[in-house]
Amino acid sequence: MKNILTIAIALFTIGFSANAQEKNSLNKNAKYTIEVNGKCGMCKKRIETAAIKTKGVKYANWDVNTHLLSVIIDERKTNPMLVKNSVAAVGHDTKEVKAKDEVYAEIHPCCKYREDNTNDDGQ
């Protein structure tokens, strides 16, 4: 009986230790860059607001020229896919998550990046 109790305690301790190590591998200030479609300052505000409202996002900055959203997240609370889902929910596509057509249709006409068939020279 004593051996069974000892084995049970040992297994519990090993399981608890492994779980603690897994949680410790998550970074409190992880930096990610996500490509997000958009065109203007209104897009910038919408994208950054959606990202920062995602629980665990500490910083969000979208660059109009590069279309890159830089975020700092607490990986214990969120992950990049949740940020992508939040951005798509307000009408902006990423490579992995597309905004629903009805949401995209509601964004301002100047923000409509899907219909943009011009090259960088405006032609």
Q: At what angle do helices 80-89 and 41-52 cross, to 10 degrees?
A: 130
More confident residue, 111 or 16: 111
CATH of domain 30-111: 3.30.70.100
Q: How many CB atoms within 10 Å of residue 102?
A: 8
Give residue limits of the domains in the chain: 30-111
Q: What is the CA radius of gyration of the chain?
A: 21
3-state secondary structure of 36: strand
Q: How many CB atoms within 10 Å of residue 7?
A: 10
**pLDDT-based confidence at 8, cuts 50/70/90?**
low
Under 8 Å CB-to-CB from 61, ≥6 apart: which residues?
48, 69, 70, 71
pLDDT digits (tens, 9 = 90+) for 66-89: 999 999 999 999 999 999 999 999
pLDDT digits (tens, 9 = 90+) for 34-65: 999 999 999 999 999 999 999 999 999 999 99
